[in-house]
Each structure stands twice: as structure tokens, then as C-alpha cells.
């Protein structure tokens, strides 16, 4: 069988690329080694974690309805029921991708794909049988997997990655999360809400590395109020598994005396690394960069003509929507169009409670780049809707160019931040200004009015402060 395009990997990068290419008239196949389509995101990432985040948030909220004048009995946890909700959510999403492949006449091949040569992909099935497929172009979309912690062996039962943390059959009484990034804080939130005592150990002296420093600091205080304990500037050097409880050895990152903390479960969430194993990249002559990511040019093409790469396996933020947009861009390029991704306007969301959402530059980045900027801030405590919903924790921070007023960044901590951020994303896509945002009518009463007020604060003066 000969194709115009074979995509290896069916995560958000791969499946979206395949669908877009098929819509543009290309004959497309996808090779996926997992039994179901959808990649990390749909099977063991974004989707199951959000199912558990929503369910655990409801569980916690139901226990705190008194302030709204609602009396309910103390909620009881049905963990198998909650995990079944997560599994059903995953199933409906991965089935959805299979349906879309059929609808768009995309051939799905379940097996491990490797590149025999440009234009030739070998699919090895679980039973060892192989098939060789011919194609004009290949897109590598093989994603990433959890980065290991030296000296700590994962068993996915007591010492887990995010994958094991999505399937714990018992709420741990003590959970250590190694790494204060998005995945660690989200899954730490799930198990804390369900009853675990959570300690986060982070090598750096701050949480959420890469996000705006002020946002991270205030967010850390909110998490501490919820019961999170943080050990920053600290590293885990070993975990002793010999006893009934785990004993983690921690040390200050800059060196010092070792200390031991106990836990039932240790979640290793120190980041993810690109996944290229078994692809035959070396033999095909495809170059990797210094961090073992597939190197691509501005059109997502590797150094080997006809072989492209997108998503977590190349440079850039490891986010599903970044992978999706690259999938669309490369499909358009292959169909002779001018696909591209605006890396200045890719939002990032932490789906905790409250949520954190961010797009564009942080204050630290603007300072480092020597760009003169203005800051406008507005707290949800001054927003009527937030007061009505008892959701006054958090604030909006708008960063604009001091000379041109162009919006350079937006950072939100608050309920629903992950939905609200998109008005800033669209505005940045159109190179809009703080004044544009401040002059756009926002429905009253909404949490989003705080974005308008923060933009007003950056451009001239807020009304409600
Ligand atoms: C717990 C968790 C929560 C997350 N939450 C979010 C979130 O809320 N929002 C967000 O934007 N991002 C989130 N992410 C990150 C997101 O999952 C990734 O950025 C995204 O999945 C990357 O998409 P991708 O298509 O590049 O690769 P992947 O989704 O990793 O898919 C790659 C696919 O390729 C397959 N594959 C690999 N090698 C081969 C081969 N040789 N042959 C055939 N198939 C192969 C793999 O089996 C996999 O299915 C989360 C990640 C985790 C782990």
C-alpha cells in the first residue's frame, strides 16, 4: 500500500495531523503502538487527569457548601467509582479518534513503526509480524515519556510516574511528589483532596518553573493553605522500599545533611523526555539536538528530506495543543499551503483549584529581554461574580509594551482561569493592545471582567479599584 503521508504516533500531534492532511486530500495512514489511539494525552495524560481533577474537586466542594447555605452530609469517597468515571472518559475520547479516522478514510495500523528509509515505514505487530508501507512523507509524532529520577526505581505501584498516579487503588495517607511542575501539582491536588497528606519536593527554589514568578509565589501560598507542604531547593536522592512505608532521602539542592521522610507513595514528576526509541532514526540519518529531541527546520522537516516531526518529540512546550497546532501546520505544508504556529501565543494551564493560566511573556522574561513594559493587576476579591461564587482567591496580571501598548503577556490565577485566558490568546494572535482589551465590552457580572480591569490598569486606570 502506498500513501502520501504516514504519521507515526497517534497523540494530539499525530491524529490531528492525519485528520487535517486527509481533509486536504492526502491519502494518509497512522501507525500506533498502543492498542488505542490518542497518545499520552487521551490515554494517560490530559484527559484522565482532568477526569480525576474534576471529580476530586467536586468531592472537596461538596464538603464545603455550608457557606452557601447548603447543608449536606459529609461526602463518602467511592474510589472505584471515580476511577471508573476516568476510564469511561478515556474510552469515549479514544473511541472518538478511531471514529474520526474512519470518517476521514485514514488507515490505522496498530504496531511499532520504524523508518527503514525515507518513504518506507516498517510496522511490527505484537506477534512479531511485519509489514512495509510506502509513502511520500513521514511525520514523526512519537511524543514523550516520564523522565526517570536517578537512583529511584519506578514500580508504578508505590513509586509511580503520572501513569501509576492515575490508577492508585487506595488513597495514600502520605504522598511525596517529586517535582513542583504542572503534572506534580495537578496529581498532588487530586490525592490531597481525597485525603492524602502531600509533600512536594522541588529541586529549584520555586514552584512552576518557567511561569511568572509572582503568580507562582501567590499560587504556592494558596496551595499551602489547602494543606500542601513544600520542600523547595531540595532533592530526593534515594527511596528505601524495604519497609512497609517508603523512606525517601532528601537533601538541600546546594548540599547538606540528608534527612528522611516517609510516605506510602512517591510520585516522580520531574519532567518528560522525548520518545524516539525503536524508530530507527540513527540508521535513517535523522539528527537529534542536545536534549535528544528530533531537530526540525521552520517547516518541521528534519535534516532528511521527506521526514518531518511535531509535538513533544521536538523542541518547545510539551503541551497537547502545541502538538495539535504543529500537526495542522505540517499537514498544510505537505498540501502546499503555508502552515505555521505562533509560538508567542500558546497558552499554558494548571488545572488545579484555583487554576493558573498564562500566555505570552512573564515579567522575568521581559526584564531579561530589556523590554519596557507596563503591569496591570486586578484581584478577584474586587469582582462581584467572584464574591457571589466565593471564588475570590487569585488575580489577573496583564503585561503590555510601555511604548506601543501591545499585549505581551497575560497571567491569571483563579477559578476558571483556563477558560478565561483565551480572550488574551485571541487578542495576542491579532497583535492587540491593552487598550483594545480594556475597551471590549465584557458581560457583567463575570470573572472575565477582571481581565478587562487588569487591562484598564495596564493602559490607564481601573474603574473598580
Ligand atoms: C499526566 C499528564 C497530564 C497532562 N496534561 C496535559 C494537559 O492538561 N494539557 C496539555 O496540553 N498537555 C498535557 N499533558 C502533555 C500532553 O499529554 C503532551 O504534550 C501530548 O500528549 C503530546 O502529544 P504528542 O502527539 O506529541 O505525543 P503523545 O501524546 O505522547 O503520543 C505519541 C504516541 O506515539 C506512540 N508511539 C511512540 N513511538 C511509536 C512507534 N515507534 N510506533 C508507533 N507508535 C509510537 C505512543 O504510543 C503514543 O501513543 C499531560 C501529560 C501527562 C503525562
Is the bond into 16 cis (omega within 30 degrees of 0)? Answer: no
Three-class SS string for 47-93? HHHHHHHHHHHHHHHHCCCHHHCCCCCCCCCCHHHHHHHHHHHHHHH
- Number of the ligand 1 atom closest to the C-alpha atom of 14: 25
CA of 33 to the centre of ligand 1 (A): 12
In this structure, is residue 194 part of a structural domain? yes
Mean pLDDT for the stretch of residues 366-372? 98
- Number of the ligand 1 atom closest to the C-alpha atom of 321: 11
Per-residue pLDDT of 238-284, as tens digits, reads 999 999 999 999 999 998 899 999 999 999 999 999 999 999 999 99
Indicate if 292 and 362 belong to the same structural domain. no
Per-residue pLDDT of 67-90, as tens digits, reads 999 999 999 999 999 999 999 999
Per-residue pLDDT of 320-349, as tens digits, reads 999 999 999 999 999 999 999 999 999 999
In this structure, is residue 427 part of a structural domain? yes
Query: What's the angle, vertex CA 49, arms to CA 327 and CA 170, rounded to 5?
Result: 150
Mean pLDDT for the stretch of residues 14-32? 98
Q: Is the CB of 188 under 6 A from ligand 1?
A: no
Alpha-carbon gap, residue 72 to 67, rounded angstroms: 12
Q: Is the pLDDT of residue 1 over 80?
A: no
In this structure, is residue 236 part of a structural domain? yes
Indicate if 370 and 249 belong to the same structural domain. no
Please identify, among 295, 315, 341, the residue that sits at the C-terminal boundary of a domain.
341
Alpha-carbon gap, residue 156 to 158, rounded angstroms: 6
Q: Is the CB of 21 under 6 A from ligand 1?
A: no
Q: Is the CB of 294 under 6 A from ligand 1?
A: no
CATH number of the domain residue 355 falls in = 3.30.390.30
CA of 23 to the centre of ligand 1 (A): 23
Asked if 442 is an active-site residue, the reply is: no
Closest CA to 358 of 285, 305, 407: 407
- Confidence at residue 283, expressed as pLDDT on a 0 to 100 scale: 94
CA of 133 to the centre of ligand 1 (A): 24
Please check whether residue 347 is in contact with residue 421, taking contact to mean a CB–CB distance below 8 angstroms: yes
Indicate if 172 and 245 belong to the same structural domain. yes
Phi/psi for 4 (5° steps) reads: -80, -35
Alpha-carbon gap, residue 363 to 251, rounded angstroms: 31
CA of 390 to the centre of ligand 1 (A): 35
Q: Is the CB of 312 under 6 A from ligand 1?
A: yes
3-state helix, strand, coil in the chain (%, to 5): 35, 25, 40
Chain centroid to CA 41: 9
State the cell numbers at 445.
457580572
Phi/psi for 371 (5° steps) reads: -90, 130
Q: How confident is the model at residue 432 (pLDDT cuts 50, 70, 90)?
A: very high
Closest CA to 451 of 397, 399, 373: 397
Q: Which of 64, 299, 444, 464 is catalytic?
A: 444
In this structure, is residue 388 part of a structural domain? yes
Indicate if 266 and 301 belong to the same structural domain. no
Indicate if 444 and 331 belong to the same structural domain. no
In this structure, is residue 128 part of a structural domain? yes
Indicate if 26 and 106 belong to the same structural domain. yes
Closest CA to 113 of 145, 86, 139, 146: 139
Mean pLDDT for the stretch of residues 442-453? 98
In this structure, is residue 151 part of a structural domain? no
Indicate if 249 and 284 belong to the same structural domain. no
What is the domain range of residue 445? 345-459
In this structure, is residue 153 part of a structural domain? no
Alpha-carbon gap, residue 34 to 223, rounded angstroms: 36
- Number of the ligand 1 atom closest to the C-alpha atom of 15: 25
**pTM for the full model?**
0.98
Indicate if 232 and 127 belong to the same structural domain. no
Chain centroid to CA 330: 21
Q: Is the pLDDT of residue 379 over 90?
A: yes
Indicate if 9 and 42 belong to the same structural domain. yes
Cβ-based neighbour number of residue 221 at 10 Å: 10
- Number of the ligand 1 atom closest to the C-alpha atom of 39: 49
Please identify, among 317, 341, 365, the residue that sits at the C-terminal boundary of a domain.
341
Q: How many domains does the chain have?
A: 3
CA of 164 to the centre of ligand 1 (A): 16
In this structure, is residue 96 part of a structural domain? yes
Per-residue pLDDT of 149-207, as tens digits, reads 999 999 999 999 999 999 999 999 999 999 999 999 999 999 999 999 999 999 999 99
Alpha-carbon gap, residue 66 to 72, rounded angstroms: 8
Indicate if 357 and 401 belong to the same structural domain. yes
Indicate if 250 and 228 belong to the same structural domain. yes
Q: Is the CB of 184 under 6 A from ligand 1?
A: no
Q: Is the CB of 348 under 6 A from ligand 1?
A: no
Indicate if 137 and 183 belong to the same structural domain. no
Please identify, among 236, 270, 304, the residue that sits at the C-terminal boundary of a domain.
270
Q: Is the CB of 93 under 6 A from ligand 1?
A: no
The per-residue b/e assignment along 274-309, b for 16 or more CB within 10 angstroms, e otherwise, is: bbbeebebeebebebeeeebbebeeebbbebeebbb
CATH number of the domain residue 200 falls in = 3.50.50.60
Amino acid at each position: 500500500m502506498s500513501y502520501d503521508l504516514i504519521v507515526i504516533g497517534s497523540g494530539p500531534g499525530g491524529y490531528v495531523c492525519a485528520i487535517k492532511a486527509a481533509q486536504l486530500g492526502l491519502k494518509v495512514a497512522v501507525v500506533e503502538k498502543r492498542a488505542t489511539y490518542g497518545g499520552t494525552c487521551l490515554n494517560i495524560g490530559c484527559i484522565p487527569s482532568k477526569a480525576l481533577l474534576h471529580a476530586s474537586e467536586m468531592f472537596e466542594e461538596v464538603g464545603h457548601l455550608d457557606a452557601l447555605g447548603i447543608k449536606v452530609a459529609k461526602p463518602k469517597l467511592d474510589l472505584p467509582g471515580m476511577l471508573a468515571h476516568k476510564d469511561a472518559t478515556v474510552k469515549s475520547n479514544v473511541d472518538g479518534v478511531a471514529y474520526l479516522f474512519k470518517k476521514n478514510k485514514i488507515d490505522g495500523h496498530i504496531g511499532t513503526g520504524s523508518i527503514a528509509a525515507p518513504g518506507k515505514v516498517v510496522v511490527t505487530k505484537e506477534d512479531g509480524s511485519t509489514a512495509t508501507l510506502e509513502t511520500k512523507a513521514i511525520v514523526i509524532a512519537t511524543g514523550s515519556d516520564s523522565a526517570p529520577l536517578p537512583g529511584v526505581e519506578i514500580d508504578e505501584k508505590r513509586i509511580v510516574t503520572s501513569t501509576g498516579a492515575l490508577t492508585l487503588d487506595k488513597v495514600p495517607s502520605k504522598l511525596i511528589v517529586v517535582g513542583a511542575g504542572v503534572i506534580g501539582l495537578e496529581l498532588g491536588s487530586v490525592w490531597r483532596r481525597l485525603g492524602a497528606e502531600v509533600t512536594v519536593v522541588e529541586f529549584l527554589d520555586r514552584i512552576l518553573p518557567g511561569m511568572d514568578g509572582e503568580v507562582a509565589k501567590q499560587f504556592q501560598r494558596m496551595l499551602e493553605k489547602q494543606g500542601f507542604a513544600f520542600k523547595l531547593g531540595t532533592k530526593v536522592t534515594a527511596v528505601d522500599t524495604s519497609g512497609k512505608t517508603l523512606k525517601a532521602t532528601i537533601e538541600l539542592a546546594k548540599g547538606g545533611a540528608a534527612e528522611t521522610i516517609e510516605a506510602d507513595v512517591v510520585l516522580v514528576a520531574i519532567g518528560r523526555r522525548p520518545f524516539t526509541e525503536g524508530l530507527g532514526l540513527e540508521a535513517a540519518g535523522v539528527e537529534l539536538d542536545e536534549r535528544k529531541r528530533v531537530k526540525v527546520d521552520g517547516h518541521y522537516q528534519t535534516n532528511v528530506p521527506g521526514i518531518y516531526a511535531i509535538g513533544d518529540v521536538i523542541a518547545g512546550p510539551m503541551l497537547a495543543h502545541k502538538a495539535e497546532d504543529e500537526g495542522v501546520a505540517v499537514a498544510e505544508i505537505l498540501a502546499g499551503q503555508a502552515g505555521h504556529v505562533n509560538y508567542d501565543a500558546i497558552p499554558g494551564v494548571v488545572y488545579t483549584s484555583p487554576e493558573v493560566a498564562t500566555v505570552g511573556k512573564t515579567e522575568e522574561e521581559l526584564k531579561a529581554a530589556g523590554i519596557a513594559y507596563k503591569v496591570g493587576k486586578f484581584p478577584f476579591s474586587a469582582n462581584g461574580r467572584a464574591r457571589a461564587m466565593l471564588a475570590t482567591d487569585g488575580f489577573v496580571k496583564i503585561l503590555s509594551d510601555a511604548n506601543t501598548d501591545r499585549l505581551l503577556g497575560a497571567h491569571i490565577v483563579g477559578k476558571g482561569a483556563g477558560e478565561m485566558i483565551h480572550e488574551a490568546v485571541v487578542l495576542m494572535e491579532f497583535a492587540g493592545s491593552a487598550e483594545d482589551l480594556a475597551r471590549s465590552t465584557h458581560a457583567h457580572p463575570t470573572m472575565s471582567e477582571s481581565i478587562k480591569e487588569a487591562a484598564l490598569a495596564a493602559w490607564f486606570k481601573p474603574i473598580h479599584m
